Amino acid sequence: MKISVVIGTRPEIIKMSPVVRLCEKLGLDFFVLHTGQHYSYNMDRVFFEQLVLPEAKYNLDVGSGNHAEQTGKMLIKIEQVLKKEKPEVVLVQGDTNTVLAGALAAVKLGIKVGHVEAGLRSYDRSMPEEINRILADHASDYL
């Protein structure tokens, strides 16, 4: 089974590091796709180094922007990678624009989605992160 681990922010790098390590330990066919939502050394690179994680196979370098712009860029670029790599499952974590774009791109391509931290809620729909959580959960096969 081929797995895509989609990350883009400091918390995602930290929280998905045990998943990446387990994939390595078990010899699973996986790759890390980094959207570049967080892109400075102190918000990104330093954690790959300190957690001794493999380089992301893909870094989309999306950078900053408003929610729609950032999510749209990610959706386009993630879809291109998923079409090329053809994973059987995409793993996302949390509530960021990276999570929403990763889950939407995968489900629209018929790829199963696993959402780490699924079900967490603030119940404050004025928060963009809450909308991302709800939509990612609805797109996910594994919660």
pLDDT score of 43: 74
Residue 30 confidence (pLDDT): 99
Q: Into how many domains does the chain fold?
A: 1
Which pLDDT belongs to residue 39? Answer: 77
Tell which residue, 35, 21, 25, has the closest CA to residue 103. 35
pLDDT given at position 69: 96
- The pLDDT of residue 141 is 99
Q: Which domain holds residue 15?
A: 2-139
Residue 112: exposure state from Cβ atoms within 10 A (0-12, 13-18, ≥19): middle
Cβ-Cβ contacts under 8 Å for 116 (sequence gap 6 or more)? 15, 16, 19, 91, 92, 93, 94
pLDDT at 42: 73
Query: What was the pLDDT predicted at 45?
Result: 84
pLDDT along the chain (143 residues), means of 10: 97 96 98 90 84 95 93 98 99 98 99 97 97 98 98
124: left (phi over 0), alpha (psi -120 to 50) or beta: beta
State the CATH number of the domain containing residue 21.
3.40.50.2000
Helix (H, G, I), strand (E, B) or coil at 118: coil
Instruction: Identify the pLDDT of residue 41.
Output: 72
pLDDT for position 84:
99
pLDDT at position 115, please?
A: 99
